[in-house]
Chains A and B, each alone.
Chain A
Amino acid sequence: MSSNAVPALGRREFTRWFWRQLTSMRTALFLLLLLAIAAVPGSLVPQRGVDARAVEAYFLEHPKSAPTLDKLGFFNVYTSPWFSAVYLLLMVSLIGCIVPRSFVYLRALRARPPKAPRNFSRLPASASFETSASVDEVITAGRRAIGRARVDVVDGELSAERGFLREAGNLVFHISVVVVLVGVAVGTLFGYRGSAIVTEGQGFANSLTQYDEFGSGSLFKADQLPPFSLKLDKFTAKFQALGSQQAGAPRLFRAQGTYTPKPGADARTFDITVNHPLEIGSTSVFLVGQGYAPVIKVTDANGDVVFNEAVPFLPNDPSYTSTGVVKVPDAEPEQLGFQGFFLPTAATGSDGASISVYPAAANPLLGLFVWHGDLGLDKGTPQSVYILDKSKMKQYKDGDKSYRVSLQAGQSQKLPNGGTIEFAGLRQFARFQISSSPGVKVPLIGIIAGLAGLVTSLTIKPRRTWIRARREGSRTVVDVAVLDRVPRDDLPADLDAFLERFRELLGETEEKHT
């Protein structure tokens, strides 16, 4: 028995010791700084949750280091085990310190101000003076001079304490840190965010298959997606005019159309601009990007129109040099695939290549290379509409160069196999981000409460004041001392101001105190 008791006690003591360490301010400080350090890598290396494409690019650029970094969680820093470990420890530490401190505070709220120490001169600031007023008058005046505070009077001795709100503010602040962290966690776990490209004249229905990118918290279920749908009628993009300063800088993006909140409900109009999302219940639809979707018409060798659609080309730079892919599975005798670029305002660059010089569609140009064969669409594996699988396709050649299609708006060109391709029109597309983070208000309210607590705690001075008055002959000797719970350098000046108020209330202003 006894041989077991020692390690058991040891373990308990260790636990207690560990708990005390974890909830100490020094550990909190250490964990705070550790959290700051842990957050750094995520700002220097692209993050999957923020920009998955940049992560892929990083893998291509750094084929050696990327897999190692990936194993260490560097591409998902803010959900990685080590980052979570630091902030969970911090949370535990924080809660572990808030709870006992709250009890201490509740007890302190009921406590009386501490009795006056015997020797005032040991305190950081003290003074004494004589007056003809009686002891009672002195105490009454002192009480008024102190103002709002908790005051006890015993035998000509006054003890006062004020500034209890400081600790309350401090507790509110620390509690609100917990509230914010929990609120953010809930929003992340139950929220979702996805983006979808919608071309003018087309619609979007809120289901998983319609998204280009989709991410959700681990507790989100796809059947919770609210069943709204929308149709984009008109997209407006305005850019700073050519020849002016900052030519080409974006000025206005605006998406207009109609939406139905639920199947069967009446359609309503929407008008989304940057910073002004459409709100449907707890879901918000934001305008986060835009680009061009040339309408491409393909006739195959048999003379049948096998393709006639607006195809979004994704912009790669501020002048909207865009790249895209056209897949024509119905073409006979072979399937056709096109890959190339779209330039809204084409010009010939210094190296002879065509480039886009302005983001608005002033001189649109479509340039495509052509493949024929099997698009690989039947395999059943889903394919990105922006990537052409060329493994079973052959490129058309023009001598030893690649055969290329080059079309201005309205133009068409014969294809090597006999069909034609036509640049039949130009539309714009909007990229919408559709997201819902339940309980956004929780962190918001939390942080505002926290700020209020912080300001309270940083501005309130917790102060103790003692006044002792005793009769000596025909005079009353008054001793005053003050003590701040938080050391401050302006204590003597405050004491002087207090004495002045005090003596004014006693009706004596001319005498000098010692």
Chain B
Amino acid sequence: MTAAQYEQFSNYAVASATGILALAFVAYVAQWGFARKIAPDRTLVTSSVDQHDSVLEPVERTSTDAQAERSDVAGGIGFSLTGLAWLVLLAGVITRGLSAQRVPWGNMYEFGCAATLMALTAYIVLVRMWAIDWVGPIITGFGTVVLGLSALVFVPPGPLVPALHSYWLVIHVLGAMIAGSAFLVGAAASVLYLVKARAERTTAEEDRVGFLWRIPPSAKIDQIAYRVHAFAFPIWTFAALIAGPIWAQYAWGRYWGWDPKEVWAFITWVVYAGYLHARATAGWKGKAAAIIALIGFATFVFNFVGINLFVSGMHSYAK
């Protein structure tokens, strides 16, 4: 294929992936919606009944069973569509790289696509590892928005500006994307933690219906959020505070110059360091820590969107 064909293929693939991911989001929302009226024990009972018991004591198929089934099916569809979106997006990102003859993260459009790909990868891996399907709506919703917004800053593929010619670019950006993906999962888990922890405090036992009660208890969600952040933080440290400065030293002759992008990378780092401390501080555990994690993610997103678009600096070629 020629560069132009690769480019066209890539554009179609990214557009399709956006659509598929949006459908995955709808399916995940449906998963929550269908389970609106289901109490968790009910589903536990139905799922733990095995063949022998049902012969002895046939279980009536109630409307809740049907709802639970529909919810499960929707969730399954959501995950399958997410997998499909991942595959199509992967093809889109690879062909973009082939068309431009370099790593496919040299401008904001490409960062958006590659970062979404990475986030979906993280999500799919973690669903396999820790069954975190329940953050699906947040991940797919966020991914759809990022891909959609990336389309707004589309530029045709081309070679890099000279300052980006460095293998530190590959390392630095890859690290930032991996950390960012984990931060996204961590933020999604933190949101659900806040919602669930609040519900656990305020909802009487008998009122506990809906999908919220089918996801793990808040303490477990908190654990998962912590682990994801504990994984992301060292990678962010490496990407933002080691690889970034080394590259800056080669490109601009100073490893740290308080450029807006650097400032926000630092702010993100400090906020997440604050999160790790909050987890170990009485009185800050739980809710406060989760809120700090969300602030951390907000600073990360702001650095990616706000600083690229609204503030000029050395890094503004990322436009």
Contact = CB atoms under 8 A, between A and B. Distances in A.
A440 B249 contact: yes
Nearest to B273: A32
B162 A50 contact: no
Contacts of B254: 193, 435, 437
Contacts of B246: 444
Interface in B139-178: 155-159, 161-163, 165-166
B252 interface: yes
| Interface band, chain A | 35 or more
A388 interface: no
B277 A32 contact: yes
B300 interface: no
Nearest to A288: B252
A50 to B, nearest CB: 6
Interface in B270-319: 270-271, 273-274, 277-278, 280-281, 283-284, 292, 299, 307, 311-313
A77 B234 CA distance: 27
Interface in B233-287: 233-234, 237-238, 241-242, 245-247, 249-260, 263-264, 266-267, 270-271, 273-274, 277-278, 280-281, 283-284
B251 A437 contact: no
| Interface band, chain B | 35 or more
Contacts of A42: 258, 263
A12 to B, nearest CB: 27
B274 A29 contact: yes
Given A273-B162, A458-B234, A489 B253 contact: no
Contacts of B215: none
Interface in A163-184: 184
Contacts of B283: 26
A251 B163 CA distance: 9
B22 to A, nearest CB: 28
Given A29-B277, A32-B277, A193-B254, A39 B266 contact: yes
B162 A252 contact: yes
B80 interface: no
A454 B237 contact: yes
A68 interface: no
Given A39-B267, A253-B162, A435 B253 contact: yes
Interface in A259-304: 273-277, 284, 286, 288
A490 B245 CA distance: 37
A244 B100 CA distance: 13
A250 interface: yes
B81 to A, nearest CB: 30
B235 to A, nearest CB: 10
B223 interface: yes
Interface of B: 155-159, 161-163, 165-166, 219-220, 223, 230, 233-234, 237-238, 241-242, 245-247, 249-260, 263-264, 266-267, 270-271, 273-274, 277-278, 280-281, 283-284, 292, 299, 307, 311-313
26 contacts: A25-B281, A26-B283, A26-B284, A32-B271, A32-B273, A32-B277, A33-B292, A39-B263, A43-B260, A43-B311, A49-B257, A78-B258, A245-B156, A250-B161, A253-B162, A275-B251, A277-B253, A288-B252, A434-B253, A435-B254, A444-B242, A444-B245, A447-B237, A450-B237, A454-B234, A489-B220
Closest 7 CB pairs of A and B: A246-B158, A274-B162, A286-B253, A43-B263, A43-B260, A245-B156, A36-B270
Given A43-B260, A252-B162, A435-B254, 8 more contacts: A274-B165, A275-B163, A275-B251, A288-B252, A433-B253, A443-B245, A444-B246, A489-B220
